[in-house]
């Protein structure tokens, strides 16, 4: 591999570690010419399914759209970045594991809704209002009422108590 700093072809691997639950490898490398160290990442090149839009148009899966949509819904919400990244990775794993060449955009939206419902109810309602095209106060009320029965059993989802220094 070529050095990321000086471009020399003579580099060696000094450390390798599995990442993303074994889905990839992180390699720490050192250049023989300049002595600088840099990190590379290796992942299997798996094709994501093509997305079939509601109008029948087909397009390549764009992970930026997935990330942007979730981040927009979660904006200014107390959800750690680590949990958001895990949710995005979970959706991408689900898509790859299906082994299908195409998937309806609606199914991806449903996966996002399920992850947001688990992460943050306010973000869920924000996303749902656009995704499900809420057009009345009753639609909001119905969505909020559907959340009323959810039980939060994940301690990472709960905000700390006042003065709680954990």
pLDDT digits (tens, 9 = 90+) for 15-24: 999 987 788 8
Res 153 pLDDT > 50: no
- Is the pTM above the cut of 0.75? no
- Name the pLDDT band for 156 (thresholds 50, 70, 90): low
Res 114 pLDDT > 90: yes
Q: What is the spatial distance between Cα 100 and Cα 58, in angstroms, rounded to a whole number?
A: 14
Find all residues with CB under 8 Å of 15, minimum gap 6, and list them. Answer: 27, 28
| Structure-token pair, residue 48 | 């994501």
What local confidence, expressed as pLDDT, does residue 151 receive? 52
Q: What is the spatial distance between Cα 42 and Cα 164, in angstroms, rounded to a whole number?
A: 40
What local confidence, expressed as pLDDT, does residue 164 receive? 55
Write out pLDDT tens, residues 72-108.
Answer: 999 999 999 999 999 999 999 999 888 899 999 999 9
- Name the pLDDT band for 165 (thresholds 50, 70, 90): low
Alpha-carbon torsion (57, 69, 46, 115), positive or negative: negative
Q: Report phi then psi at 17, rounded to 5.
A: -145, 145
Look up tokens 């979730």; give the residue: 70
CB contact at 8 A, 127 and 73: yes
Write out pLDDT tens, residues 122-137.
Answer: 999 999 999 888 999 9
Query: What is the overall mean pLDDT for the chain?
Result: 88
> How are strands ordered across the β-sheet holding 37-43?
11-19, 24-31, 37-43
Residue 164, SS3? coil
Res 157 pLDDT > 90: no
Span 40-65, average pLDDT: 91
Q: What is the spatial distance between Cα 64 and Cα 20, in angstroms, rounded to a whole number?
A: 18
Find all residues with CB under 8 Å of 48, minimum gap 6, and list them. Answer: 60, 61, 63, 92, 95, 96
What local confidence, expressed as pLDDT, does residue 84 receive? 94
């Amino acid at each position: 591999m070529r050095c990321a700093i000086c471009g020399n072809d003579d580099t060696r691997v000094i450390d390798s570690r599995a990442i993303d639950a074994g889905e990839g490898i992180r390699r720490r490398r050192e250049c023989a010419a300049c002595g600088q160290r840099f990190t590379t990442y290796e992942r299997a090149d798996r094709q994501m399914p093509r997305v079939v839009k509601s109008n029948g148009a087909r397009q390549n899966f764009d992970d930026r759209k997935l990330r942007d949509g979730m981040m927009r819904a979660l904006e200014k919400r107390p959800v750690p970045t680590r949990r958001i990244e895990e949710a995005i990775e979970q959706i991408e794993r689900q898509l790859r594991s299906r082994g299908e060449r195409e998937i309806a955009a609606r199914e991806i939206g449903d996966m996002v809704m399920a992850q947001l419902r688990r992460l943050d109810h306010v973000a869920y309602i924000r996303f749902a209002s656009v995704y499900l095209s809420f057009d009345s106060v009753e639609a909001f009320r119905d969505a909020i009422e559907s959340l009323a029965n959810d039980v939060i059993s994940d301690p990472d989802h709960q905000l700390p108590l006042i003065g709680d220094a954990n």
